Structure 1
C-alpha cells in the first residue's frame, strides 16, 4: 500500500500542484521572471552576491531605505530542481515599502545537489548575511525567514538544525513564514518528483521537518492556499499542529482564493505582524 492508502495515480496528483491549475505553469513562471526583472531594474539591489564558492551560491539583496531595518530572507521553491533567486523578487517592493531589507537566496538544484546540501547552503547564506550585516545596513537581531514549497522544507530544516549556529553568529530569526510547504518527504520519494532527487530512506527520515522540530523561540506562521491540493493543505496543518504541541508560538491559515503558484504574489503572505 502506498502512502496513506493512495493509489499511485492519486498520489502523483496530490503532489503535483499544477493539477489544481490545469497543468500549465507557464503563465506563473513568466510572471515571476517578468516581475522580478522589473523590480531589479526599478529598485536598489545588490545582485548575484556570492556567499560561497559555487556559482550557484549567490543571493540578491534589496536594502531598506534606512539603516538598521529588519531583514526578510526568502528561499524559493521549485521542487528542489527549478527556479532561482532571479525569479524570486516579486515581494521586494512590498517588503521594502514596509521598511524591511530583503534577501532572496539561490542554492544548487537537483540532480547536482542533494537536499541536505541545499539545507547547508541556505544556512551558509544566512551566516554570510549575519557576518555582513554592518556593511549591508540591516539589523541581524530582527530577521524573518520565509520559504515557499520546497523552500519551506529548506527553511524548516535550517531552523531545526542550525538555529544555534545562527544565534552564535548574531542572527536572530524572530519570525518564520512557511508557505505551501512539504514537511514529510516520504510521499515525495514515491512520486516522479523523486527522479532527480533520488531520496534514500535515511534522507526521507533525516530531512523531513515533521521528524525534526526546531527548538521553540521564533514565531511561526504556516500558510497554504485554499486551492492547493488536499495533501499540501494537510501537510501544512499537521506541521503547524506538531509545532503547537512542541510549545511553539504558531499560527495556521488557509488563504482564500489562492493556489500554490499565486500565493507568493500576494504581499499579505509575507508581511508578518511586528513583535
Structure 2
C-alpha cells in the first residue's frame, strides 16, 4: 500500500489538532466518574449501567451554572458514557456542568426501562448537582440518535418524573442531535425498511407501548423548548420524523430551533461536538443562558 507524503502530513496534522484539543479540554474540566444514580438496594439495580459522570469547569465559576445531561445513542442496544467524555469536557470548558449518563440496554431491558433510568439520572442531578457547581433549576437535556429520542421523551412525558416523586418535570429544554425514535408508533406500524423487525426487541410488539415511548405523542404547548439538529445525509426515517416533530411543535405554538446540516450523515453529527465552536455549541450557549 502506497501512502502519499501529503496524505500522511494531513493525517498527522489532524491527530495533533485532536490531541491538542483533548489536552486543552482535559485541563479545563474536572471529572467525577462512575457515580451510581440508583440505590444499590433497589430491585432493578445495575451496577454497570446505572452510573453517570460529572464534568465541572476546573476554573472557578459563579455558583449555579447551567447543567446539560447528555444521553448517548447506540440503537438502544449499545453505547457507553465512556465514549462521550469529549462532550463532557467541552461542555465544562464552555462554562456548563455536564452529566454523561449510562442506562440499561436491550435486550436486557426495553425502552420504558431505559427512559426510567434516564429519568432517575435526572432526579439524581436535581438532588446533587449543586455540589458540583450546577444549578438544579437549570437542567437541560442533550441526546444523539436513540439518546435524542430518549431526551425528547423525558422533556415531554411528565409522568416519568411524577412517578419518582418529583413535583414537576425539571427539564428546562432539550437539544436533539439527529434524534431517532421520536415517533416509533408511526415507524413500527409501517415497517417499511429492511431489518425494522429488530426494533421489536427494544420496543416490544404492542402498538400502545410504541406510542407510550414516543415523544410525538406526549408533546404539548407547555413542553420545554427544543433545538433540533439534523444531518442532511442522515437516515430518511430521522429526516422524516424530525420534520414531523418540528411541525407538531409549531402547530402547538412553539418555535423550535431547527438546523439542517447539509452533507452530514448520522455519526458525524455527534463527532462534530468535539469542536469548540461548532454550530450546536454556538446555539446551545444562549439556549442555556450563557
TM over 0.5: yes
Shift of 1:239: 0.5
- Distance of 1:125 and 1:217 partners within structure 2: 20
* 1:176 equivalent in structure 2: 174
Give the aligned length.
Answer: 241
Mapping for residues 57-206 of structure 1, pairs under 5 Å: 57-64=50-57, 65=59, 66=61, 67-162=63-158, 165=162, 168=166, 172-182=170-180, 183-186=182-185, 187-188=187-188, 190=191, 191-194=196-199, 196-197=201-202, 199-200=204-205, 201-206=207-212
- Distance of 1:173 and 1:114 partners within structure 2: 23
- Distance of 1:171 and 1:188 partners within structure 2: 28
Shift of 1:247: 2.4
TM-score by length of 2: 0.74
TM-score by length of 1: 0.78
CA contact (8 A) 2:158 2:169 kept: no
Q: Which of 258, 261, 267 is the equivalent residue of 1:261? A: 267
Q: Which of 34, 59, 62 is the equivalent residue of 1:48? A: 34
**Deviation by residue 1:232-274 (Cα, 9 ceiling, x = unmatched):** 1111111011012112231221012321101112233245124
**RMSD in angstroms over aligned alpha carbons?**
2.7
- Distance of 2:32 and 2:105 partners within structure 1: 22
**Deviation by residue 1:68-92 (Cα, 9 ceiling, x = unmatched):** 2111111011111000111122322
**Deviation by residue 1:84-130 (Cα, 9 ceiling, x = unmatched):** 11112232233122100111111000011110011111111000110
Distance 1:74 1:198, change over 3 A: closer
Structure 1 range deviating more: 86-95 or 236-245: 86-95
- Distance of 2:214 and 2:84 partners within structure 1: 24
CA contact (8 A) 1:140 1:170 kept: no
Where structure 1 has 5 or more consecutive residues not aligned to the other structure, the ranges are 1-30
Structure 1 range deviating more: 73-82 or 194-203: 194-203
Shift of 1:168: 4.6
Distance 1:222 1:198, change over 3 A: closer
| Pair 1:228-2:224 in alignment | no
| Pair 1:210-2:216 in alignment | yes
* 1:246 equivalent in structure 2: 252
CA contact (8 A) 1:159 1:214 kept: no
**Deviation by residue 1:184-227 (Cα, 9 ceiling, x = unmatched):** 21435731432532522221121122222145252211111111
Q: Secondary structure at the match of 1:63?
A: strand
CA contact (8 A) 1:130 1:169 kept: no
Distance 1:184 1:89, change over 3 A: same
Structure whose CA Rg is larger: 2
Structure with higher RCO (Cα < 8 A, 6+ apart):
1
